[in-house]
């Protein structure tokens, strides 16, 4: 059988080959054709080589990537792969290298950046995975909690515990057959990350005699890791919000031979070597890479006031979990999915799966170390034995599926694994919607995906009810907000008025003298965005409105916020300012010259099921939202649906660059076609 790429009406690639290695090569070749700039930029990001074409603004990341030893970790994990998995990854990389020159010729970003595509190392996909997930659970929040404790006391640390805009989340739900119209299960949901152009997921189908799987692939990584439907079984994940990365204070000293670090057993030699970050339009930057017995030093060094190391499972174990990926492709039951996820390492996820025999699965997967509880809260002393890791949490939490199963990053199944979880609003709302009736179908799933009811609105609305001495304008606004249905719809002026009150209140709390000490932070440029006071206040607002730990007259600030908004001219609808703004490696147009721009107004908000995140007090612009939506029908795979924010192609001007954007904005799902006779063959050549 010749390896062939087929396309559906949306340009989604359906790949067909004679065996799994030939298919892996074809997948690599295809992603190089469709996403050449995206995957090459991701590879250079992993290597810490982005400042060479982005300039000084990228030095902070490149420095961190070198100091965290992302590339070295990828090489170490690649060497530890079993022979079969290593051969499969190598076949994918062979395909990338074969397709990258032609793919790069289609991508104008290469010329704009002055970048010539490089030859991929066989371990590059592991590095791309490591770089994508090193900040996935937001370990810099430990720096923030330490900062809070230093100035406000330990009791105040949990005031700011919340899911913020820089962590990744998801919604997911499993509806068992007794609640569906077909009598077989549905698995649906949507991952929430920064919306990027090109998109962070690639819709794809991988078919060979061993398996036939469609799902969402990570460009630059073989297989279908997070969301897949193999016909007989389907699976999906959400971020478990687990805490599995630790920060250690290090005592370092220079010696005649290098650097030593103080550990529980005394002074020990630390690994050390220099690296150079090339900078476009600037001088090269020298980086000292140091690794202690705890892990790589990512803050400071022996000549600084402080040195902090990072300990994370792949660096410790030499495993990233890649052995799970080919196992997932071959699974035909939830038992097979369960076994595959036993090999999962990072990130730690909550998994839902169902099969055509009625099997159901709800579990967590990944590696979480056993260690002192203090490790999860702040930076801990690397020289104290009590903060060492002592094995892994085992078994990982799992649950029997009894009715609807929901996962939305809340403190539920994964509670023993972490510290910071999402507020329960999305999880509760999904469960409320799904248990209200039976007879669910894939066609019904968009009503859940796009639900814009804001569960956190009550914390502010209730506060406004009894405010005294309001102006007539403020009373009118308060009454309008009280009667509001709490839906953050793009066409709602009341939703935008609520957002304006919330913005003003967040800003006023952040500016209160009680929090003034938190304004000044001492951290490298890389971590400063994670220590922004206003951002933390905005996302911890519910906690701050309810606490008595701070000497803040919250009702007085709420009154001032209400009066401020009431005194201004009437606001336009929420979607006027709540607009999607996809991130790009090199900022450029979203629409090609001559194309009609699309209005990017969004419904939803951070705590809605339709999670579209902005930063109250800073901007209404949205950069974090659903980066895909899916609904897997176990009764008939062709009844399933999916959608991404833009399209299948990463090439500006291609007809499939953003043809799914109108669907995504409306909350609709594109149909899935699996009949090869209804697909269009693109190539028919032997890559064997």
Domain holding 352: CATH number? 3.60.20.10
Q: Which of 367, 364, 345 shows the shortest CA–CA distance to 353?
A: 364
Last residue of a domain, one of 311, 326, 360: 311
Domain of 68 in residue numbering reads as: 4-134+167-244+318-429+624-681
Beta-bridge mates of residue 583: 196
Place of tokens 């796009």: 450
In a domain, 142, yes or no: no
- 196 has which bridge partners? 583
Residue range 646-672: mean pLDDT, rounded: 97
Residue 254, domain CATH: 2.30.120.10
| Domain assignment of residue 31, yes or no | yes
Nearest to 48 by CA among 65, 26, 25: 65
Angle, CA 342 vertex, CA 30 and CA 240 arms, to 5°: 80
Q: Are 554 and 545 in contact (CB under 8 A)?
A: yes
Same domain flag for 608 and 649? no
Rounded Cα distance between 32 and 45, Å, is 17
* Dihedral (Cα; 682, 684, 687, 688), 10-degree rounding: 140
Does a structural domain hold residue 250? yes
153 found inside a domain: no
How far is residue 464 from each of residues 440, 494, 558, 617, 685, measured CA to CA in Å? Answer: 38, 15, 7, 18, 67
pLDDT confidence bin for 447, thresholds 50/70/90:
very high
Looking at the structure, tell me whether residues 643 and 607 fall in a common domain: no
Query: Do 508 and 638 sit in the same domain of this protein?
Result: no
CATH at residue 493: 1.10.1400.10
If asked whether residues 270 and 283 sit together in one domain, one would say yes
571-585: pLDDT as tens digits: 899 999 999 999 999
Phi first, then psi: give them for residue 268, nearest 5 degrees: -130, 150
Q: What is the Cα–Cα distance from 368 to 312, expressed in whole angstroms?
A: 9
Do 478 and 492 lie in one domain? The reply is yes
What are the pLDDT digits (tens) for 294-313?
999 999 999 999 999 999 99
In the predicted model, what is the mean pLDDT of residues 374-402?
Answer: 97
Task: Please indicate, yes or no, whether residues 129 and 30 belong to a single structural domain of this protein.
Answer: yes
pLDDT of 6 > 60? The answer is yes
- The verdict on 302 and 230 lying in the same domain is no
In 3-35, which positions are buried (b, 16+ CB within 10 angstroms) versus exposed (e)? bbbbebebbbbbbbbeebbbbbbbbbbbbbbbb
Query: Which tens digit of pLDDT belongs to each residue from 269-280?
Result: 999 999 999 999
Share above pLDDT 90 across residues of the chain, in percent, rounded to a whole number? 93
Determine the pLDDT at residue 684. Answer: 47
Model confidence pLDDT, tens digit, residues 596-637: 899 999 999 999 999 999 988 889 999 999 999 999 999 999
Q: Is residue 146 part of a domain?
A: no
Query: Pick the residue with more confidence: 540 or 684?
Result: 540
My answer on whether 211 and 67 are in the same domain is yes
Q: Does some domain include residue 140?
A: no
Interval 398-419 mean pLDDT: 96
Which pTM value belongs to this model? Answer: 0.96
Domain edge (last residue) among 311, 335, 359? 311
Q: Are 499 and 415 within one domain?
A: no
Q: pLDDT band for 160, please (50, 70, 90 cuts).
A: confident
Half-sphere exposure of 498 (CA within 13 A, CB side): 31
Pick from 260, 285, 311: which residue ends a domain? 311
- Same domain? For 177 and 52 the reply is yes
Cα 88 to Cα 25, 95, 332: the distances in Å are 8, 11, 20
Q: What is the mean pLDDT of the chain?
A: 96
Q: Give the total number of structural domains in the chain.
A: 3
- The DSSP output letter for 529 is G
Residue 630: phi, psi to the nearest 5? Answer: -145, 155
Q: What is the bridge-based pairing of β-strands 211-217 and 641-643?
A: unpaired
Backbone Cα Rg of the chain:
25
Whether 468 maps to a domain, the answer reads yes
Query: What pLDDT score was predicted for residue 161?
Result: 74
The pLDDT of residue 683:
62
Tell me: do 505 and 642 sit in the same domain.
no
Question: Are both 278 and 290 inside the same structural domain?
Answer: yes
How far is the CA of 269 from the CAs of 15, 56, 259, 293, 635, in angstroms?
50, 33, 6, 9, 59
């Amino acid at each position: 059988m010749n390896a062939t790429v087929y396309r559906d009406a949306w340009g989604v690639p359906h790949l067909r080959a004679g065996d799994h290695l030939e298919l892996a090569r074809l997948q690599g070749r295809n992603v190089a054709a469709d996403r050449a700039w995206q995957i090459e930029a991701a590879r250079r990001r992993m290597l810490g080589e982005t400042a060479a074409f982005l300039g000084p603004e990228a030095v902070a990341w490149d420095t961190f990537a070198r100091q965290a030893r992302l590339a070295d970790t990828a090489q170490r994990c690649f060497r530890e792969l079993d022979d079969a998995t290593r051969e499969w990854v190598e076949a994918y990389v062979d395909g990338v290298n074969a397709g990258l020159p032609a793919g790069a010729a289609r991508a104008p970003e290469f010329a704009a950046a002055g970048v010539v595509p490089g030859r991929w190392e066989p371990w590059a996909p592991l590095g791309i995975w490591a770089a994508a997930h090193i900040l996935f659970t937001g370990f810099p929040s430990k720096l923030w909690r330490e900062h809070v404790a230093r100035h406000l006391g330990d009791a105040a640390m949990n005031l700011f515990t919340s899911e913020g805009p820089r962590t990744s989340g998801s919604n997911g739900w499993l509806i068992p057959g007794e609640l569906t119209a077909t009598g077989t299960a549905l698995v649906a949901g949507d991952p929430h990350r920064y919306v990027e152009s090109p998109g962070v997921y690639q819709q794809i189908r991988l078919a060979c005699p061993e398996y036939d799987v469609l799902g969402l692939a990570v460009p630059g990584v073989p297989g279908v890791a997070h969301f897949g439907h193999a016909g007989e079984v389907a699976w999906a994940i959400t971020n478990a919000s687990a805490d599995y990365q630790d920060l250690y204070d290090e005592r370092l000293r220079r010696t005649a031979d290098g650097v030593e670090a103080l550990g529980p057993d005394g002074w020990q030699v630390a690994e050390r070597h220099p690296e150079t970050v090339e900078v476009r339009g600037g001088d090269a930057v020298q980086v000292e890479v140091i690794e202690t017995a705890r892990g790589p030093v990512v803050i400071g060094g022996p000549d600084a006031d402080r040195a902090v190391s990072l300990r994370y499972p792949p660096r410790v174990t030499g495993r990233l979990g890649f052995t799970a990926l080919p196992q997932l492709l071959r699974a035909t039951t939830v038992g097979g999915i369960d076994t595959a996820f036993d090999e999962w390492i990072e990130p730690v996820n909550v998994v839902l799966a169902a099969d055509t025999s009625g099997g159901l699965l709800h579990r967590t997967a990944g590696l979480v170390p056993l260690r002192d509880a203090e490790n999860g809260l702040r930076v801990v002393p690397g020289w104290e034995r009590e903060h060492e890791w002592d094995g892994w949490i085992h078994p990982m939490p799992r649950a029997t599926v009894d009715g609807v199963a929901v996962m939305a990053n809340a403190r539920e199944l994964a509670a023993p694994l972490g510290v910071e979880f999402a507020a329960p609003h999305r999880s509760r709302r999904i469960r409320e919607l799904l248990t209200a009736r039976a007879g669910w179908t894939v066609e019904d799933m968009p009503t859940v995906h796009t639900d814009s009811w804001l569960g956190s609105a009550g914390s502010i609305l209730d506060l406004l009810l009894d405010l005294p001495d309001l102006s007539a304008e403020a009373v009118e606004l308060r009454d309008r907000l009280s009667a509001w249905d709490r839906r953050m719809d793009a066409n709602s002026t009341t939703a935008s008025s609520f957002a304006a009150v919330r913005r003003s209140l967040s800003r006023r709390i952040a500016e209160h003298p009680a929090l003034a000490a938190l304004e000044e932070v001492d951290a490298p440029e890389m971590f400063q965005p994670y220590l922004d006071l206003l951002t933390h206040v905005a996302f911890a607002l519910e906690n701050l409105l309810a606490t008595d730990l701070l000497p803040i007259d919250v009702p007085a600030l709420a009154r001032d916020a209400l009066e401020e908004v009431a005194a201004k001219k009437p606001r336009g609808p929420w979607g006027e300012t709540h607009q999607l703004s996809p991130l790009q490696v090199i900022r450029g147009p979203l629409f090609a010259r001559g194309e009609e721009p699309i209005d990017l107004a969004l419904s939803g908000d951070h705590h809605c099921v339709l999670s579209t995140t902005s930063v109250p007090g800073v901007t209404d612009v949205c950069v974090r939202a659903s980066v895909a939506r899916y609904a897997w029908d176990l009764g008939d795979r062709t009844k399933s649906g999916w959608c991404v924010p833009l399209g299948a192609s990463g090439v500006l001007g291609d007809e499939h660059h953003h043809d799914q954007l109108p669907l995504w904005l409306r909350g609709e799902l594109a149909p899935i076609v699996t009949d090869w006779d209804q697909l269009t063959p693109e190539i028919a050549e032997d890559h064997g």
